[in-house]
């Protein structure tokens, strides 16, 4: 084909795109005038309170420094995301058939708001945002997703002092005694260990499942089945994780190597964990996937609270002793504050993988349930771009998609200003009232460096 033919084809494609865009605008205007469009909450705004029992957030999204009244934006005709919150609406049915006696949910809700800055902030990290455009924040979606297996009385949150108020607003059914406030962030071992110590003191037979507040999951049936199977394995004194079938050779996640099958009733898919692997380079990740023996490590753990504390006592005895002391007095507020002040600052800051999971796996104490549901930790704007709904070859827009914009990547029009992009591709544009971020999808994982640099140069009020 000659260069002239190629040029003619490009010109025809351009004309077709323009004609298609014109038709879409006419259809949109026609439908809007007939009232066919329904409103949806943009990701940077707080969902309004609905009439249903599944309450939504009351608190404003932005800190007091930033104007709390952002423009009201509407999204036409919802196109499902490939990985949404999938909140279960008929919770009554599932609760009556799926409830697992003695199973307690632990939701660690931490974060510094750096990976999706300036959309997320220190005081309002991503788990408080509606990133699915469905009117539910990530932590609300996590609550909805797990409730069929447990109850509000057996669902707990571990969070820092700056997020407690917003969590209470967004989860009005959360019992006050089930919101565990850690004085400072000490990584996942301290957070999950704290919940385990408290729940083991309340119920020595408790089986706990830890699930991050800020992950997106699709395929509720597969998720619930995997968790139920993990509970069966955990009752046999295993530390159990759930392995996600990798969709691509990601360098952003850790990996789990599958070991031999475990013969446990009602857990046909369970296997031993052969080993945990840190985030690999692209070549190694591709090699992992080619073997068919690896799963992504999503950081989901299910175990008896007493078993976790027993393993912690073996591998991190000082940490175990401190957490047990805190758990024993937690429900007495006066004693709790005194013991926290004494013990918490001395606790080691370490992930649960390094503290317990990896050494326990070496001696055959860790199991994995391979799962088939979709999962993403929304670790950067590039990930979010893939998860947001959009028409083919159109930008992902977290806000008002009715604006005539042409861009790859993602646009967050949070300031109310018109954002027009022409002749650029794969950009990340986050326009908030107090600051603007422009980067590329390829470098979106480096946003944390920008946040650190801003802090070092005295811009903490914007973080």
The string of pLDDT tens digits covering residues 161-172 is 989 999 999 999
pLDDT surpassing 60 at residue 71: no
Question: What is d(CA 252, CA 241) in angstroms, rounded to the nearest whole number?
Answer: 18
386-405 pLDDT, tens digit per residue, is: 777 655 445 556 655 554 44
pLDDT surpassing 50 at residue 12: yes
Burial class (CB in 10 A: 0-12, 13-18, 19+), 364: middle
Query: How does residue 37 score in pLDDT terms, banded at 50, 70 and 90?
Result: very low
Can you give the C-alpha Rg of the chain in angstroms?
A: 23
- Chain centroid to CA 2: 49
421-443 pLDDT, tens digit per residue, is: 777 778 888 888 888 888 888 88
Report the DSSP pairing between strands 436-440 and 427-431.
Answer: antiparallel
**pTM score, whole prediction:** 0.75
In the prediction, which pLDDT does 391 show?
A: 53
Report the DSSP pairing between strands 155-159 and 103-109.
Answer: parallel
Q: What angle do CA 214, 119, 55 make, to 5 degrees?
A: 50
Establish how many alpha carbons lie within 13 A of residue 45's alpha carbon, considering only the half-sphere containing its beta carbon. 24
Question: What is d(CA 87, CA 54) in angstroms, rounded to the nearest whole number?
Answer: 10
Q: What is the mean pLDDT of residues 10-23?
A: 57
CB environment 7-22: b (16+ within 10 A), e (fewer) = eeeeeeeeeeeeeeee
Determine which of 32-36, 88-92, 210-214, 245-249 has the lowest per-residue pLDDT on average: 88-92
Q: What is the mean pLDDT of residues 316-328?
A: 96
For the chain, give every domain's residue range: 1-36, 91-377
Q: What is the mean pLDDT of residues 134-163?
A: 92
Query: How does residue 111 score in pLDDT terms, banded at 50, 70 and 90?
Result: confident
- Find out whether 325 and 317 touch, Cβ atoms under 8 Å: no
113 against 260, higher pLDDT: 260
68-to-59, 144, 254 alpha-carbon distances in Å: 10, 27, 38
Coil, helix or strand at residue 255: strand
pLDDT surpassing 90 at residue 307: yes
In the prediction, which pLDDT does 384 show?
A: 79
Question: What is d(CA 416, CA 402) in angstroms, rounded to the nearest whole number?
Answer: 13
Q: Give, to the nearest 10 degrees, the angle between helix 220-234 and helix 91-98.
A: 20
> What CATH architecture is 91-377?
Alpha-Beta Complex (3.90)
In the prediction, which pLDDT does 397 show?
A: 62
Share of the chain above pLDDT 70, in %: 75
In the prediction, which pLDDT does 49 show?
A: 36
Query: How does residue 173 score in pLDDT terms, banded at 50, 70 and 90?
Result: very high
145-to-57, 94, 95, 259, 438 alpha-carbon distances in Å: 17, 11, 11, 29, 34
- Chain centroid to CA 29: 35
- Find out whether 387 and 371 touch, Cβ atoms under 8 Å: no
In the prediction, which pLDDT does 40 show?
A: 41
Q: What is the mean pLDDT of the chain?
A: 79
Report the DSSP pairing between strands 294-304 and 207-210.
Answer: antiparallel
In the prediction, which pLDDT does 67 show?
A: 35
In the prediction, which pLDDT does 65 show?
A: 35
Question: What is d(CA 458, CA 73) in angstroms, rounded to the nearest whole number?
Answer: 32
Share of the chain above pLDDT 90, in %: 48
Determine which of 217-226, 233-242, 380-389 has the lowest per-residue pLDDT on average: 380-389
Encoding tokens for residue 291? 């073997």
Q: What is the mean pLDDT of residues 319-345?
A: 94
pLDDT surpassing 60 at residue 413: yes
- Chain centroid to CA 151: 21
Q: What is the mean pLDDT of residues 30-59?
A: 38
Query: How does residue 36 score in pLDDT terms, banded at 50, 70 and 90?
Result: very low
- Find out whether 111 and 120 touch, Cβ atoms under 8 Å: yes
- Residue 55 phi/psi, 5° resolution? -70, 150
DSSP string, 44-112: TSPPPP-SSSS----S-SS-TTS-S-PPP----S----SS-----S-HHHHHHHH--TTEEEEEEE---
Q: How many other C-beta atoms lie within 10 A of the C-beta of residue 452?
A: 12
In the prediction, which pLDDT does 79 show?
A: 35
Encoding tokens for residue 45? 């705004």
In the prediction, which pLDDT does 390 show?
A: 57
- Find out whether 133 and 183 touch, Cβ atoms under 8 Å: no
Question: What is d(CA 382, CA 272) in angstroms, rounded to the nearest whole number?
Answer: 33
pLDDT surpassing 50 at residue 68: no
- Find out whether 256 and 297 touch, Cβ atoms under 8 Å: yes
Mean pLDDT is highest, among 134-138, 363-367, 445-449, for 363-367
Taking the CA atoms of residue 170, residue 172, residue 176 and residue 177 in that order, the dihedral angle to the nearest 10 degrees is: -90
pLDDT surpassing 50 at residue 350: yes
12 against 50, higher pLDDT: 12
């Amino acid at each position: 084909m000659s260069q002239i033919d190629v040029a003619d084809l490009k010109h025809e494609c351009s004309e077709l795109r323009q004609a298609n865009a014109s038709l879409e605008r006419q259809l949109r205007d026609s439908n809007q005038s007939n009232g066919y469009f329904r409103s949806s909450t943009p990701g940077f705004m707080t969902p309004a309170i609905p009439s249903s029992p599944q309450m939504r957030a009351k608190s404003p999204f932005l800190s007091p420094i930033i104007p709390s009244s952002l423009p009201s934006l509407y999204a036409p005709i919802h196109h499902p995301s490939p990985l949404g919150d999938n909140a279960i609406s008929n919770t009554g049915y599932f609760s009556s058939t799926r409830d697992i006696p003695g199973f307690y949910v632990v939701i660690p809700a931490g974060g510094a708001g750096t990976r999706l800055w300036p959309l997320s902030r220190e005081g309002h990290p991503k788990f408080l945002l509606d990133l699915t455009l469905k009117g539910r924040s990530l932590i609300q979606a996590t609550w909805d997703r797990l409730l069929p297996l447990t109850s509000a009385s057996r669902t707990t949150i571990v969070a820092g002092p700056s997020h407690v108020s917003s969590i209470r607003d967004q989860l009005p059914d959360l019992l006050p005694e089930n919101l565990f406030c850690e004085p400072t962030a000490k990584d996942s071992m301290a957070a999950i260990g704290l919940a385990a110590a408290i729940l083991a003191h309340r119920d020595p037979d408790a089986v706990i499942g830890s699930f991050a507040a800020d992950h997106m999951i699709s395929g509720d049936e597969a998720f619930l089945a995997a968790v139920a199977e993990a509970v069966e394995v955990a009752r046999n004194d295993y530390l159990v994780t759930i392995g996600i079938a990798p969709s691509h050779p990601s360098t952003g996640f850790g990996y789990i190597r599958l070991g031999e099958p475990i013969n446990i009733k009602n857990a046909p898919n369970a296997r031993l964990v052969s080993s945990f692997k840190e985030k690999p380079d692209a070549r190694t990740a591709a090699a992992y996937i080619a073997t068919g023996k690896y799963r992504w490590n999503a950081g989901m753990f299910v175990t008896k609270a007493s078993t976790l504390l027993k393993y912690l006592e073996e591998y991190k005895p000082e940490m175990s002793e401190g957490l047990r002391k805190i758990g024993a007095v937690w429900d007495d507020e006066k004693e709790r504050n005194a013991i926290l002040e004494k013990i918490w600052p001395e606790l080691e800051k370490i992930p649960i993988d390094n503290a317990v999971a990896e050494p326990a796996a070496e001696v055959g104490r860790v199991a994995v349930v391979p799962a088939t549901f979709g999962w993403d930790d929304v670790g950067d704007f590039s990930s979010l771009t893939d998860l947001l709904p959009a028409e083919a070859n159109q930008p992902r827009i977290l806000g008002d998609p009715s604006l005539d914009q042409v861009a790859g990547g993602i646009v967050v029009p949070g300031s109310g200003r018109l954002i027009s992009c022409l002749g650029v591709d794969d950009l990340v544009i986050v326009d908030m009232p107090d600051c603007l971020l422009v980067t590329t999808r390829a470098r979106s994982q480096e946003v944390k460096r920008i946040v650190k640099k801003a802090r070092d140069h005295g811009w903490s009020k914007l973080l």
